[in-house]
Amino acid sequence: MKQELNKIVKPIVKWYQKQEKELPWKQDKEPYHIWVSEIMLQQTRIEAVKKYYTRFMQELPTIQDLADVPEEKLLKLWEGLGYYSRARNLKKAAIQIEQDYQGKMPTTYTELLKLSGIGEYTAGAIASISYNEKVPAVDGNVLRVISRLVASKADVLLPETKRNITKKLLEIMPEEAGDFNEGLMELGEKICIPNTIPLCEKCPVQEFCIANQKKLTTQIPVRIKKQKRKVETKTVFILKYKNQIAIRKRAKTGILANLYEFPNITRNCI
């Protein structure tokens, strides 16, 4: 696989470097900007993130601002993005940076992993894009691109599959590590797209893609369906007195912790 993947490095770097960097977080390689954008982009579409990122940076332009921001204001800035634990972990990590790193983002993959809310992908993205450290950044887009390139039918939802692909990419990381990682991600976002027929005719590494050659692009990547999610049925009360409406604060732990809601009761569970 290493020999096959070696062929994609230069074409992807060259292709990415020609792309227009129209997204606000791609105007520079400031690690704080990369960090916030990557956290926002988890579980959220790029188009939806743009306005939130811009507002967030206007209100909290530095790591110290993020560390000092009251939680209520932080959650208000995050309102609409969902998965509020991401915002809380941003603040926790900012406090760590202020206390342990003199207010400066750690400069290595290993140190970045020590921060709250930063996993292997985010650490890889920051380390490679901001500091050009030769480490992969493997997200869903990269898993899909590599799986198709080598026609792998391994389940991409399994941690073992991600570990194997990360290991293979580590072996071929070029000096332009950030551009290579961003190129793979952008290839997955724009061309090697999911849930439909990929735009193979626009792909800079089409000639090296085994799934394309064998007409397997609609069958790869393989994703074994997860178990059905639990659904709760609730009765929600709208209690109004004149121009006032009753709300309550949720528990300190669990889903949507510390956020506000209308009073409600759980009727039954499916």
Give pLDDT tens digits for 130-185. 999 999 999 999 999 999 999 999 999 999 999 999 999 999 999 999 999 999 99
Lowest mean pLDDT among 21-30, 112-121, 166-175: 21-30
Using the predicted structure, report yes or no on whether residue 47 has a pLDDT greater than 90. no
Using alpha carbons, select from 155, 169, 160, 174 the residue that is nearest to residue 1. Answer: 169
- Enumerate the domain spans of the chain: 2-213, 232-269
Query: What digits encode the pLDDT tens for the residues 195-246?
Result: 889 999 999 999 999 999 999 999 999 988 776 777 778 889 898 888 888 8
CA distance 52 to 38: 12
Average pLDDT over residues 75-82: 90
Q: Which of 20, 22, 38, 133 is catalytic?
A: 38
Averaged pLDDT, 101-107? 94
How is residue 127 written in tokens?
């380390």
Q: What is the pLDDT of residue 227?
A: 65
Q: Are 199 and 236 in contact (CB under 8 A)?
A: no
- How far, in whole angstroms, is CA 253 from its chain's centroid? 23
Phi, psi angles (nearest 5°) of residue 265: -135, 150
Note if 38 is an active site residue.
Answer: yes
CATH code: domain 2-213 is 1.10.340.30
Confidence of residue 269 (pLDDT cuts 50, 70, 90): very low
Helix, strand, coil percentages in the chain from 3-state DSSP, rounded to 5: 50, 10, 40
38 band by pLDDT with thresholds 50, 70 and 90: very high
- Across the strands, what pairs with 235? 265
pLDDT of res. 250: 85
Res. 270 pLDDT band, cuts 50 70 90: very low
pLDDT value for 261:
86
pLDDT the model gives residue 268 = 60
- Tell which residue, 198, 188, 51, has the closest CA to residue 121: 188
Nearest to 168 by CA among 185, 182, 152: 152
Cβ atoms 97, 150 nearer than 8 A: no
Q: Is the pTM of this model over 0.75?
A: yes
Cβ contacts of 191 within 8 Å, gap of 6 or more: 198, 199, 200, 202, 203
**Structure confidence at residue 2 (pLDDT):** 58
Q: Which residue type occupies 75?
A: L
